Amino acid sequence: MREQYNSAPAVRPSLEERLDRLKKGLVSDSMVLDARLEHMSSFPLADWFGEHRERLEQLSRAFPGITGDMTFGQAADVLWEHRDTRRGAEGMWLLLAPLLDADRYMVKHNDGGAFYWGAR
């Protein structure tokens, strides 16, 4: 995924290019994306699902290898083994549900900015 959105250029892009990428919702530097993915990978599943424990239980029932004391990255590793199956895709949607919920409440503007419902 990182290569698709943030291919490593031979020379660091100009400030104008980096700002343009930020306005499009892309990262300006691959180190930023790497740090975000590392942080997300180490996030505890119990905290990731928060108040929605039923989603974690549903995911654990569908994939017994996934438990509440794992991290997001460990759960993703279990799902990776099933990546080519419909069941694996459904598991990935369950794992990503909290992230998708957050995105539902956000409206993205063309300039790359965003506001949250109720913020006005």
The pLDDT tens digits of the residues spanning 53-63 come to: 999 999 999 99
Are the C-beta atoms of residues 38 and 74 closer than 8 Å to each other?
Answer: no
Angle at 86 between CA 88 and CA 95, to 5 degrees: 35
pTM for this predicted structure:
0.62
Residue of higher predicted confidence among 66 and 22: 66
β 114-116/106-108 pair status: antiparallel
In this prediction, residues 70-85 reach a mean pLDDT of 93
How confident is the model at residue 74, as a pLDDT? 95
State the pLDDT confidence band at 1, using cuts at 50, 70 and 90.
Answer: very low
Q: Are 119 and 106 in contact (CB under 8 A)?
A: no
| Rounded (10°) CA dihedral 33, 74, 62, 82 | 70
Neighbour count for residue 107 (Cβ, 10 Å): 11
Please determine, for residue 86, whether its predicted confidence score (pLDDT) is greater than 90: yes
Residue-wise pLDDT for 14-32, tens only, equals 888 888 888 887 777 777 7
What's the confidence (pLDDT) of residue 26? 79
| Residue 5 pLDDT greater than 70, yes or no | no
Confidence of residue 115 (pLDDT cuts 50, 70, 90): low
